[in-house]
Amino acid sequence: MVSPPGYAGAPRKGHLVFDACFESGNLGRVDYISDFEFDLFIRPDTCNPRFRVWFNFTVENVRETQRVIFNVVNFSKTKSLYRDGMSPVVKSTSRPKWQRLPAKNVYYYRCPDHRRNYVMSFAFCFDREDDTYHFAYCYPYTYSRLQHYLASLERRNLPYLQREQLGLSVPALTSLLLSSTDHLSPEKEKKLVFLTARVHPGESPASFVCQGVIDFLVSQHPVAQILRDHVIFKIVPMLNPDGVYLGNYRCSLMGFDLNRHWQDPSPWAHPTLHAVKQLIVQMSQDPRGSLEFYIDVHAHSTMLNGFMYGNVFENEERVQRQAVFPRLLCQNAPDFSLSNTSFNRDVVKAGTGRRFLGGLLDDTSYCYTLEVSFYSYMTAGSTAPVPYTEETYMKLGRNVARTFLDYYKLNYLVKCKGPTHIQRVISQICNDGMNCACRTEFRTDSHLGCRVTRKPFIFKCQRNRVITWIFI
C-alpha cells in the first residue's frame, strides 16, 4: 500500500495497493509523489540488474474517478516504441480483455527529475472502486497458460502429436518438446523443422506466435494435413520457463541471457538450453533425417512488423537460398516485412541460436530469428501503424506454419495434385527488400503451380547484384 508520507492510520479508499507477487509479475518499488502521481520502478532481472523493461502489476483500493499519473522511471533501454505510439496494456476485473491504453495518454521523454533518464508516463482514470486494475508492458503469456494450452492439446489425443519433457530449469519448471510424428516410409529421409520461443522471457508476443504455429499444425486445415505427412516439426515453446515465471525481461533465474550461451551451455547453469542444443546436435548427425529449419521466435522493442534475421555466407548461392523462406512468408503474411529482414554476422550475436546453428548445420539448412514488434505493423496500403493484438500475433504464427508448404512445394518435396499450369507474366523491381535498390525491372513469363523450377531463377541487376526470384 502506498499512502502519503507520515500517514499511519488504516488504509483509505484511494491509497493505492500495488501487487506484482504473481506469475510473470514485475514491479520493484513505488514512490509516492502526490495523491495523483507515483514513480514506479521495474524490478531488474534476477541476478542481472542490467535488464529493466518488462513490468506487470495490479492496482486496487482505488477511488471512483481517481485520476493518476504513473511514471515508469528506470527502463534500461532508451530507444523505445513508446515514441511511435506504443502504450501499456490494461484490463480490470469487470473488463477482463486486455486493451492498449490510448496513445495520447502516454508520454516518453528525458526527465530532469530522474538524472535525465528516459521516463514513460501515463495518465489513467480509475472508474470502478471494486475493480482490480492490471497493467503490463505487453499482453502477458505465462508458464501456466502454456501448460493449460498444452494440456488441452493432449486431451484431444491427436495421433500426430507427442509431448516430451526436455529438461528441467533451475527451479524445476519443465521445458517441453512438442513433436509431430510422420507418416513417411522408414527408408525415406525425413525433413525436420525445429522451432523455439521465449528464450527471452519478457518477449511474450513470441508465445502467441508460437501458439499460432502449433494451432495451425494440429488443425484439420488441408495445408496442415499435407505438412504433417511430409515434415516433422519439433517445437520448444518456452526455452526459458524460469525467466517467464519470474517476470524477467531477458534472463533466466540465474541472470543468464540464454541466447548468448549457445556455444557452450552448461548443464547446471543453462539446463534447458543445454538439453535443446544436445537434441539439435544429435538430430543434425542422424542420417535418417535432415534438419532443414531452425527458427527462434522473439519480440522486438524498437521495430515494427514481423521480420527475420538470417545468416550471411561466402557462397552467393547459399546467401540467396536463405532469402527464399522470408520471401515466401512475405507473400502469406501482410504484417511481415521483407525490408526489415536482414542478414548479418555481428560479433555480439555470436552466441545466439541462429548464429551458432548456422555454423553447425550443413549448407542445406536455414537458421533464422523471427522477430515480431511489441507494438504494431504497417501493411503495404496502410497509412498508420496497426497495433498487434493477441489474435494478430497468433495469425502471424499460422502464416509461418503454412509457408512451409510453399517452401516444400518449391523444392518438390510436396507434389501438387492435378494439372495447375497457369501462364502468368511476373515483373518485379529491384528494391530495398531485395537488398538492393537500383530499380532494375525484371520481367518474365513463367508457368506457375506444379511446373516451378527446382532452383530459383537468378537474375543480375544493374549493379550486378544477384537477385533470386522464386515462383509460388
Active centre residues (catalytic): 371
Task: Write the binding mask 151 to 190 for Zn ion: x where contact by CB under 5 A, - elsewhere.
Answer: ----------------------------------------
Tell whether residue 298 is a contact of Zn ion (CB under 5 A): yes
- Residues from 437 through 466 that contact Zn ion (CB under 5 A): none
Among 231-239, 293-301, 336-344, 422-430, the segment contacting Zn ion (CB under 5 A): 293-301
Alpha-carbon distance 261 to 342, whole Å?
22
Q: Which is nearer to Zn ion, 243 or 271 (CB)?
A: 243
- Restricting to residues 203-222, name those near Zn ion by CB under 5 A: 203
Pick between residue 60 and residue 203 the one whose CB is nearest to Zn ion.
203
- Tell me which stretch binds Zn ion (CB under 5 A): 229-237, 292-300, 395-403, 438-446: 292-300
CB of 352 to Zn ion, least distance (A): 9
Written in H, E and C, the secondary structure of the chain is: CCCCCCCCCCCCCCCCEEECCCCCCECCEEEEEECCEEEEECCCECCECCCCCCCEEEEECCCCCCEEEEEECCCCCCCCHHHHCCCCEEEECCEEEEEECCHHHEEEEEEHHHCCEEEEEEEEECCCCCCCEEEECCCCCCHHHHHHHHHHHHHCCCCCEEEEEEEECCCCCEEEEEEECCCCCCCCCEEEEEEEECCCCCCCHHHHHHHHHHHHHCCCCHHHHHHHHHEEEEEECCCCHHHHHHCCCCCCCCCCCHHHCCCCCCCCCCHHHHHHHHHHHHHHHCCCEEEEEEEEEEEECCCCCEEEEEECCCCHHHHHHHCHHHHHHHHHCCCECCCCCEEECCHHHCCCHHHHHHHHCCCCCEEEEEEEECCEECCCCCCCCEECCHHHHHHHHHHHHHHHHHHHHHCCCCCCCCCCCEEEEEEEECCHHHCCCCCCEEEEEEEEHHHCCCCCEEEECCCCCEEEECCC
409 binds Zn ion (CB under 5 A): no
CB nearer to Zn ion: give 274 or 298: 298
Minimum CB distance to Zn ion smaller for 273 or for 430: 273
The answer to whether residues 304 and 378 touch, using CB atoms and an 8 Å cutoff, is yes
From the CB of 298, what's the least distance to Zn ion, in Å?
3
Q: Minimum Å distance from CB 211 to Zn ion?
A: 17
Contact region for Zn ion (CB under 5 A) — 202-210, 280-288, 401-409, 412-420? Answer: 202-210
Q: Which is nearer to Zn ion, 298 or 355 (CB)?
A: 298
Q: Which own/partner pairs from 89-96 qualify as long-range (CB within 8 Å, at least 24 positions apart)?
A: 89/135, 89/136, 89/137, 89/138, 89/139, 90/124, 90/133, 90/134, 90/135, 90/136, 91/133, 91/134, 92/128, 92/131, 92/132, 92/133, 92/134, 93/128, 93/130, 93/131, 93/132, 94/128, 94/131, 95/131
Q: What is the C-alpha to C-alpha distance for residues 138 and 140, in angstroms, rounded to an integer?
A: 6
Nearer to Zn ion, 38 or 393 (CB): 393
Nearer to Zn ion by C-beta: 46 or 290? 46
Question: Which of the ranges 23-31, 192-200, 303-311, 352-360 carries the binding residues for Zn ion, by CB under 5 A?
Answer: 192-200
Dihedral (C-alpha) 320, 324, 414, 210: value to the nearest 10 degrees? 140
Angle at 221 between CA 215 and CA 227, to 5 degrees: 85
CB of 103 to Zn ion, least distance (A): 24
Mark the segment that binds Zn ion (CB under 5 A) among 146-154, 190-198, 294-302, 323-331.
294-302
Q: Taking CB under 5 A as the rule, does residue 300 contact Zn ion?
A: no
Between 68 and 295, name the residue whose CB sits nearer to Zn ion.
295
Judged by CB under 5 A, the residue of 15, 191, 200, 228 near Zn ion is 200
Residues numbered 4 to 33 that lie near Zn ion (CB under 5 A) are none
Closer of 200 and 395 to Zn ion (Cβ): 200
Residues near Zn ion (CB under 5 A), total:
3
Q: Which stretch binds Zn ion (CB under 5 A): 13-21, 182-190, 281-289, 297-305?
A: 297-305
Binding site for Zn ion (CB under 5 A): 200, 203, 298
